[in-house]
Structure 1
Amino acid sequence: MKKHVAIIGAGISGLCTGALLAKEGIEVTIFEKSARVGGRTISTQFRGHILDNGFHIMPFYKTSSVYTILADIGVLGRIPLAKVHDISFYQNGQFHRYPKGLGDILRMSLLPLKSKISLLRILIPMAFSSIKRSEKLDDQSLDSIISKLEPRAKSFFDAVCMLAFADTPDRVALGEFVRTIIRANPLRGGTSEFAYPSEGGYDTICKVLASYILEQGGKIHFNRKITKVQIKDGVIRGIVEAGGGITEVDCVVISYPAYLAVHDLFEEQILDAEFLNWLDRLHKTTSVVEVHFCLAEKIDTRQIVFPINSGCTAKGIFFVSNISPSVSPPGQQLIMAGTPVSQEYADDANKIREITKKMKMELANMYPAFERSLLWERPMSWKLVEAVVKEPGMVWKKKAPHQISGINGLFFVGDSTVSYGIGTDSAAHSSLLCHPKILSYLKG
């Protein structure tokens, strides 16, 4: 008898899980409350440009979990990838090359020799550590070991954290940072390369995964909000939609944060109060303001620039059209500048305008042609439920479990569940870890 799995949510983790199950010949139906796949990676068309919902990147892409899944289901050839390799620091009117590996640190023009040695003393032990040892550091912040470095050396970690976590070192778990360095070490089979879909729009990955699922006979329903998961005698029986429709299934996979889903989809008496309280501690958010700027001419050939001047508002400047020319009309340049902010900033239109104004002034100081070539700007703010991916005490094995004791046939995937990685790669890693558990249940 063919087993039927319902997946709630068509983001990276839901689609990765669906694709892995579809490859096994399992009947998969995905229910997505919006009109499109992509979740947090959805991109939009605006004045001829493709604008991402935040800056997304495939880290260490040949060894990433996303890449692993795409290769496993045989669709890598459908997603041409552009390498992200031209990254620089900017300080006091000068650009300094971003190091691609430990060896490059000795050649960094940004730092004096003494600071380079200080960096290597921290990074070399990290690069040759182990995932298991890194777990012991998950309760500490990265800032706890770099706070006493001289400002230019500390700015290196500020830049890495902005690229990898869109946040500052004090909000990044030391263990998660160590795992990032391990996965970037070529002497341990890693790579420091990054990639982005060459045709533009990070949600290209989701579209390809969705196409594969449909080709294998799976279904994806849009504008279908699930309001309840049915459980009888401790076993999953089905799901209930907002309109009252019921679908009987053998298994349910929830691909949005477990700490939200348990309150949205289950009656209170079903789940243990102590477990609910434990999950609620994971309900943490991080806020970001990002501004897209469109220019009538190219003001830089670099792909990413990290300003490290004291008091600089923009913590990262991403020249998206230099990574993938497909995101913009010919002759125009698309830039995204971003900075982490406190939550109240993300809700305050005046503060967002203030941040945008400061970013424009900084870009004008860096690039004399910026003001005359600016065609339009589009500010955005996000309150992202992803702080749990990186915050001390809440990463890797301290996140939400893939299964709940006492409920058979219910699984959770996504970057809020047990997994390591950066953003979308964390979500894909969660799918890889959960996949054998789902198969074992269905076969049993």
Structure 2
Amino acid sequence: MSLPTIVIGAGVGGLTTGAMLANNGHNVMILEKSSKLGGRTAAMEYKNHILDNGFHIMPFYKKSAIFTILKNLGIESRLKLAKVDDIAFYAETGFHIYPKGMVDLLKLSLIPFKSRVRLLKLLLPLAFSSIEKTELWDEIPLTKITSDLDADTNAFFEAVCMLAFADTADHISLGEFARTIIRANPFKGGTSEFAYPDGGGYDSICKVLGEFILEKKGEIHTKQSVKKVIVENSKVTGVVVSDSPNSEKFIETNSVVISYPAYTALNQLFDENVIDKKFVQKIDKLNKTTSVVEVHFALNSQIDTRQVVFPVGDNYVTKGIFFISNITPSVSPKGEHLIIAGTPVLPSETEDPEKIKSIVSKMKQEISSIYPTFDSSLLWERPMAWKLVESVVKEPGKVWKSKMPHQIPGIDGLFFVGDSTVSYGIGTDSAAHSSILCAPKIESFLNS
């Protein structure tokens, strides 16, 4: 039997890659250091509620990279999805409907009519651009075209960036924003629909992919920490794996796929001088991640029937309120309701307990001002501060093809996938898109 292709990491990038390879008859072995699948998307159960690590929305629904892979594998029916389409803004003037398409922008009551027309004129050229043209804008900040807009229109951009990127507009590349608008344009074959796994979080997706890999005679081993990738004479020859502090074993292979952030892997998994130091320093610059404070709240009553609400304006610390149990009741026990509120913060603030406490307090006050019954309905809260929400860099000059390449020239059998590698999109969708781009390269190597 042929040597296995070792996939390091059972997150979305590793599992989508492994599933595509296994589907085409290749010998696949997934090695995951934790006890469960999902990587950074892994959810947890807390007081009988399913809590996401972040809000795991599926952008562009059936046009997303993840859904495309599931469909190509013939297993899309195994994943039950709930649509996320009841979205609103909240401003001092009350609730305003979130536009689901270009035409809806003219109905956007959040901003004055003249501003809506100007916004439409600004977005239409982006929506009808080509993906290739957007690459020319990858080094331009989004704020280049939004800086002179009125406050209400800027609030709209901030809300879109929160939904699409989990970040603020000043951190987003114009190229990446334009690709998002194109993918939402139905006249370009896109969709503005969003979805969420009915079982709660991306664990559902990873479970489906994991089961498929096993059906195709692939192997998945958890609690297996890869310590080193062995490269001899510019060729991959194996990996060193540990399943306990005092135990190591060598697994022979001629192909390795690394599916966690490349800037981490390059510094941890290789002997000195295997990877050019200047190359490593270049990739290290991608190590800039979104940091957020988010809070899960369990309630004993439904305070809103909407699914997502974006408070807009400089007065709100809270940038998004996601009513998870309104999307799918399966995340909560009967009679209880789950919401998650979040806001981007500086990385240093995630290490300051007093700062986190202050942010959470402010968010609770804001939610109470929008929903007067919030305080009396609150059962418990669980604050979290994340330094690593999206490994994908969205900053100008560090997106799409400026990220980590899928292969390092001169090393045979070594591949990289995941949201830190060449791909577009956000987070998990970017990781799946990376797999779509890289899998043919891996297959070409294996078949040769």
Considering the TM-score relative to the shorter chain, is it more than 0.5? Answer: yes
Q: In the TM superposition, what is the alpha-carbon distance from 1:147 to its structure 2 partner?
A: 1.1
Aligned to 1:140: 140
* Counterpart contact for 1:90–1:309, Cα < 8 Å: no
SS of match in other structure, 1:274 = helix
Superimposed CA distance per residue, residues 20-47 of structure 1 (whole angstroms, 9 cap, x where no aligned partner): 0000111110110100000111111111
Aligned to 2:102: 102
Q: In the TM superposition, what is the alpha-carbon distance from 1:431 to its structure 2 partner?
A: 0.2
2: CA distance, partners of 1:103 / 1:19: 39
Q: Which runs of 5+ in 1 are unaligned?
A: none
Closer/same/farther in 2, CA of residues 170 and 155 from structure 1, 3 Å limit: same
Q: In the TM superposition, what is the alpha-carbon distance from 1:114 to its structure 2 partner?
A: 0.7
Aligned to 1:248: 252
SS of match in other structure, 2:140 = coil
2:209 is the counterpart of 1:205: no
Q: What RMSD over aligned residues (CA atoms) do the two structures have, in Å?
A: 1.0
Aligned to 2:272: 268
SS of match in other structure, 2:368 = helix
Aligned to 1:410: 414
2:164 is the counterpart of 1:184: no
Q: Which amino acid aligns with 2:43?
A: S
Map 1:26-105 onto structure 2 (within 5 A). 26-92=26-92, 94-105=94-105
Q: In the TM superposition, what is the alpha-carbon distance from 1:388 to its structure 2 partner?
A: 4.0
1: CA distance, partners of 2:396 / 2:203: 29
SS of match in other structure, 2:132 = helix
* Counterpart contact for 1:3–1:442, Cα < 8 Å: no
* Counterpart contact for 2:54–2:389, Cα < 8 Å: no
SS of match in other structure, 1:379 = strand
Aligned to 2:384: 380
Superimposed CA distance per residue, residues 188-245 of structure 1 (whole angstroms, 9 cap, x where no aligned partner): 1100000001122321101110010011111111111001011111111100013320
TM-score under structure 2 normalisation?
0.98
Superimposed CA distance per residue, residues 66-123 of structure 1 (whole angstroms, 9 cap, x where no aligned partner): 0010011111111110000000000115100000000001111111111101111111
Aligned to 1:151: 151
Q: Which amino acid aligns with 1:145?
A: I
Q: Which amino acid aligns with 2:205?
A: I
2: CA distance, partners of 1:275 / 1:198: 42
Q: Which amino acid aligns with 1:188?
A: K
Aligned to 2:129: 129
SS of match in other structure, 1:291 = strand
* Counterpart contact for 2:399–2:424, Cα < 8 Å: yes
Aligned to 1:280: 284
SS of match in other structure, 2:34 = coil
Of 306, 309, 312, 2:316 maps to 312
Superimposed CA distance per residue, residues 289-344 of structure 1 (whole angstroms, 9 cap, x where no aligned partner): 10001111000000000001332010000000001110011121111000000011
* Counterpart contact for 1:284–1:386, Cα < 8 Å: no
2: CA distance, partners of 1:221 / 1:118: 54
Aligned to 1:9: 9
Aligned to 1:336: 340
Of 438, 441, 447, 1:434 maps to 438
* Counterpart contact for 2:391–2:419, Cα < 8 Å: no
Q: Which runs of 5+ in 2 are unaligned?
A: none
2: CA distance, partners of 1:248 / 1:109: 62
Closer/same/farther in 2, CA of residues 258 and 132 from structure 1, 3 Å limit: same
Q: In the TM superposition, what is the alpha-carbon distance from 1:385 to its structure 2 partner?
A: 6.7
Q: Which amino acid aligns with 1:225?
A: S
Identity of aligned residues (%): 58
Aligned to 2:358: 354
Q: Which amino acid aligns with 2:179?
A: R
* Counterpart contact for 2:422–2:434, Cα < 8 Å: yes
* Counterpart contact for 1:389–1:426, Cα < 8 Å: no
Q: Which amino acid aligns with 1:261?
A: A
2: CA distance, partners of 1:433 / 1:388: 16
2: CA distance, partners of 1:184 / 1:430: 19
SS of match in other structure, 1:7 = strand
TM-score under structure 1 normalisation?
0.98
